Amino acid sequence: MSASRGTQSVRWIIWAVFFLYLCSQVLGFVRVLPLPLRAGLVLRIVVAVFTYVYFGGSGSKALGWTLTVLLVPVVVGFLARAVGSHGSMAVMWTFFVVTNLPMLGLVLQWPGSFGDRQRAAKRPAAGAAAGTPASRPAAAPLRTSASPSATKAVEPPADAALMEAIARNGLRPLGNKKRLGFGEDKDCLDYRAQFRDRGSALAYYKAFLSHASKNPPPVLIEVIVAFTPNTIYSEKYSMVLPYFNVGAREDYSQWARNAIMSSNDTLRQHSYSAGNSYSYVPSSIGAQGAVIEWTIVAPRGFDPDSPEGQELLVDPPDGGYKEVAIEGRGVALPDKPDPCGPWIGVLFEISAFSEALYGRAATKLLLEIVGLKDLSGCVIHGGDVLPECKYWCNAVHTGSQEQAELIQLAVLESENGKLAHEAPSLLTGGEVPVNTLPFQGFVSKDGKYVGV
């Protein structure tokens, strides 16, 4: 006999005990088979134990039913004794029914229902291939990936003819200004949503495309997600689409606003900038960044073979912006680490820096003092120490206690004059004002700094 069948047999036996106990209560109440008080109490405890076993021996459901079986008769018993002989027969019957309601509930939960639920949980989803776990998600529809010839299965659905035209014509991100909202005679402006991590950027991108699949835009546009390490913002992952504020087409402007608002309902943890030239996108990506995902979103009924389609679905030699790296084509992007070690704070004298961007200069100095190798896998925050703003603090989230000690030793041994003098140059534990310091960047596991 299998374990599941054995468990089911035990449940049937326990259920039979519940049924017999309920029958004995009825017979005892009508004085056909009265039970001594002590025997009734023992039986009640045995039934409570069986109840706990019946529901699996763990969890809130098992505990809740067990306590109900034990406590309801006690409470009703107190009430019955309070009423005593003054109560009518109807009142006594009411007390009896309430006392045994938990047992009636247990009897009604016959063991076959457990077996049905177990079989349903184990049954694979309809249409699943043999050997495929039932929990495996179904393949999502096609979407354009960073590589024009790739066929990654992600949301939302895309028109097959459009996808075929993109692959056939070898289109690239930023390859045609007419897909970016303006004509060839004007410089294109962009709207960027900035994110701290790759996952958030892609989640927002998918939410945006999901809205676009249900509510197509009035014009054909291009949308990209890129790792932009050279941006001035601390958030290094960008979703870029054509500008939609003052001066943009009214119908596109309204559509884009609605799409952004819909996406914000999914994810709000981001900042944004608008009205910058698209020419800054390649420079923001630089040599270390790359386009992660990109796609073209077309209006309803768009025909790739129409004159408009042939004009938009082509990358003319001088009709786009500088070519950018694409993830997967010989480009491997550094992943943001997720350290779990202690925080270390390093203080710098703000007055010691001549640079206007003293925070960036202090972070660069920290990298030089400690070294990228010893900072690998760390996340760095930074900002003025409030309220006096005399010091700039770089808070380093380390990967381990050993790494934290290496960083402390490097700072203590440094004789750099820009480290704090009047205050300790090192902070540890609760002294590090992490909550007031914005994210600055991280050092990848292979020792590359990504940040401002």
How would you write the pLDDT of the chain (452 residues) with one tens digit per residue? 443 444 556 666 766 766 676 676 666 665 555 656 566 667 777 776 766 666 665 566 667 767 776 677 766 666 666 665 555 666 666 766 676 676 666 656 655 544 444 443 334 333 333 333 333 333 333 344 444 433 343 344 457 888 888 999 999 999 999 999 754 446 789 999 998 888 899 999 999 999 999 999 999 999 999 999 888 777 889 999 999 987 788 999 999 999 999 999 888 777 888 888 899 999 999 888 899 999 999 999 999 999 999 999 999 988 899 999 998 877 777 778 889 999 999 999 999 999 998 999 999 999 999 999 999 999 999 999 988 889 999 999 999 999 999 999 999 999 999 999 888 899 999 999 998 898 888 898 888 888 77
13 and 90 together in one domain = yes
Q: At what angle do helices 198-214 and 250-266 cross, to 10 degrees?
A: 130
305 and 188 together in one domain = yes
Report yes or no on 393 lying in a domain.
Answer: yes
Tokens of 443: 């050092």
Domain boundary among 117, 148, 178: 117
Other C-beta atoms within 10 Å of 38: how many? Answer: 8
293 and 360 together in one domain = no
223 and 298 together in one domain = yes
CA–CA distance, 372 with 370 (Å, rounded to integer): 7
Report yes or no on 329 lying in a domain.
Answer: no
The string of DSSP letters for 418-452 reads TB-SSS-SEEEGGGS-GGGS-EEEEE-TTS-EEE-
Give me the number of domains the chain comprises: 3
191 and 302 together in one domain = yes
Contact (CB, 8 A) for 333 and 289: yes
Tokens of 25: 């209560």
Report yes or no on 77 lying in a domain.
Answer: yes
In sequence order, what are the residues at sequence separation of 6 or more whose Cβ sits closer than 8 angstroms to the Cβ of residue 205? 223, 225, 239, 293
Which pLDDT does position 366 carry in this prediction?
A: 96
Residue 164 sits at the vertex; the CA angle it makes with 162 and 170, to the nearest 5 degrees, is 100
308 and 166 together in one domain = yes
Domain boundary among 117, 149, 180: 117
Report yes or no on 330 lying in a domain.
Answer: no
The residue range of the domain holding 296 is: 160-312
Residue 205 sits at the vertex; the CA angle it makes with 200 and 209, to the nearest 5 degrees, is 150
Report yes or no on 78 lying in a domain.
Answer: yes
CATH number, residue 243: 3.40.1310
Which pLDDT does position 440 carry in this prediction?
A: 86
Report yes or no on 362 lying in a domain.
Answer: yes
Domain boundary among 117, 149, 178: 117
84 and 164 together in one domain = no
Contact (CB, 8 A) for 307 and 398: no
Phi, psi of 368 (to 5 degrees): -75, -40
Report yes or no on 153 lying in a domain.
Answer: no
Contact (CB, 8 A) for 222 and 171: no
Report yes or no on 323 lying in a domain.
Answer: no
188 and 260 together in one domain = yes
